[in-house]
Structures are given as structure tokens and as C-alpha cells.
Structure 1
């Protein structure tokens, strides 16, 4: 598949999830998203109303992070926070799974939680992204989660919060994609700071990229395409 610069920009969830982010930081995030035509701004739930207002009458989504980054909340709490975020203008949701219950092999709980979150999002015609936090998981746990996600029919499965001990890895993206195939999309996030890493994640099967360095990445890709005198880059997956 050939990607234009805008195609690449539309893969990016432009991210600021820092606890000390100011209103000025959030406005800058939204202004950059509009300037570069990113797909979404990825923000903490409490920023939903502010960012939705900034992005009104654009095709850029407001993506609220739920139970972020530790996910030590009940299912009911996560559902409540999701409804609250949506009421305040969020139109994409990224939530973190209950890692404690996964480690306990309580797959029924993990599935019940995912079903509740997906149902809540789909009731509002909003995509739901399930964050695995792969740095804490074994390959078998990643496989099991991907299998549950495929069965539940969530919209995306996501590698990381970016706040764990490590972020996205190419091998994990490949593994996740191999399990869900085209039934569920894959989002790579965490530690994606340059164009080479960005392209590697796309080649591995990532359908969306969460990063705080989207501006730098798009500028680097633009320069690469200018130097090569091409209007698109072919990605083989």
C-alpha cells in the first residue's frame, strides 16, 4: 500500500497524557492536530470537554484515556468514566485492562470488562481501544488477550500506555496482528519518537500510532519524500 504524507498523519493519535499538562499545552496539542491533520488527540479523560471544544467542526477526534495508566478500577467505575468522557465530547476511548485479573488467569473477568467497555462505546458509535500494557505481559498473555479481543470484537488492541517499563515493540505488534488479523485493528504506542520507528510499526501491522512526537515524525517523513522526489511511500505488510 502507498501512503501519502496525509495518510501517515491520519495514522497518528497526537498525545499528551502528562499530569502537569496545562490548558496552554492542550490548546497547542489541538492546534498541532489541526495543522498536521492528525487522526486524534489522546488525552486524559478530564481534558475531554476542553479538547472537544478546540476541535469542534473538524474531523479530528478527541480520544479519552480511561483507567489510565494503572487500571486499578472496577468495571463499573470504568464504564462510568467512559460515559462521562463521551458526555463531555470524547469520541474515541482507550482503556487499560485489569492486569491483576489477567495475571490470575481470570479470563472471564477480563472478557466481561472488555464486553462492558465495548458495549458502552458502541452504544454511542464510538471506537474502543483496549490497552494491553505488553511490558508486563508474557507472550502467552498477549496471545490470550488478543484472542479475547477478537471474540469480543473490539475496534483496536493497543500495545502500551507509554507509562510502563517499556513501550511498543515491533515483535509485539506482529504477534497481536497475527492473532486478530483484519478483525481488529492494532495501535502501537509508547516510545515511538522518530520516523524510522514509526514506519517499522506500520510495516509490522499497526493501523494507528500513538505518540507525542507526531509533528517531528511528519516533518521527517516530508523531508524524506522531498529528498526522494516522491509523493508517497510504499509499505509492505
Structure 2
């Protein structure tokens, strides 16, 4: 059965098709005969119980620089016309992101929204993983310079990053001498109201990272 799949994501023109998991999902859905639409979270609308988006029909192909083609945009009723909505936009985990989860919750009884908007909202990735300290480097969540200094003294080189950032942005390594830690925490506190994540530096990061994809509790990659 052919499905209508609406993909809520960042601008598709800007993605790296080599490593982008959303693009891989779109390729797979298209290969199975499903119809794809693309829109951004900023394109969501609500009125009289309906949630819709100004969405483009889209086809995709694994050719860098020519990896997608848009059709004419139209208002797509996500509750009545879409079978599946893939909520795939990157953070920041801000009020725009949270509002999108609230709007998509309103169609969850009609349309399969992946992942569940309430659970996306309740499980921001850098907070959710605190439940699994055995799989993490030593971690501190704080806005306090004194706490960050004490953590640095205990662990040597550390990494400071936004609690709700993504894509490797605004991640800073601080060496064991603590140079610039004070200025860095000051800038972070001026930029973000929430606490920040501080972790012990792991030299093995130079070997790269690996991503595990779970589908229906099965490891996909």
C-alpha cells in the first residue's frame, strides 16, 4: 500500500546526503513506492482543529548537489491527507521546537507521527542520556564557574557544550590548565539561560563515532 509521508525537517538543500539519516529514510520510503512531502516546522498551521503545512511534493536521489526535486507547494492537511509524519528537524530545543510537538500531538489519533511528539518533547537527548551514566564519560550539568573549575581539577581536560545543541556546534575543549574556562562559561551564560553540559574529554574521540538506529526495538545500523 502506498503511503503519503510528510517529512518535517530542516532545509533539504543544506543536508549532507552521505551521512544524513533523514535522507536515507526518504530514499527508502520512495523506493517502496510512497509519496513524499517536505516542509519545515515553521510551515505548520492550526485552525478549527486542523493542522496543516505548506508542503512541497519531493523526489530524492543519491546525487550530491542534485539530490532532490520539488513540485509545486500546497497546503497538506497532516491529519486527513498524511499517513505518516516524520518529525526530523534538528534542535535547538527551543519554544519553536516545543510548539511543533504540541501541534503534531493534535493529529496523533489520525496520523502516525514518528517519533511520538510528547516523548520527543520529554526526552531531549542530552538530558535523557543522564539515565545511562554507565555509557557516558563523567558529566556535569551546571551554569556555575566554580563547579566547572572543580570538575576540571578532578578530570583534567574537559569539553563544554550547550545542553540543547546539535551537530557539533559550540563544543569547546578546555585543557587541564583551565585557560579561557572563565570567559567560556561567561559567554555560555550570556547566550543560554539553561545549564550547560561539561564532560571529561575522551581522547578516543579522534577515532570517530558510531550511530545506532533502532526500528521497532531492532538494531538497524
Q: TM-score range by the shorter chain?
A: under 0.3
Q: Which has the higher helix share?
A: 1
TM-score (norm 2): 0.27
Q: Which has the higher contact order (CA 8 A, sep 6+)?
A: 1
Q: Which has the larger radius of gyration?
A: 2
TM-score (norm 1): 0.26
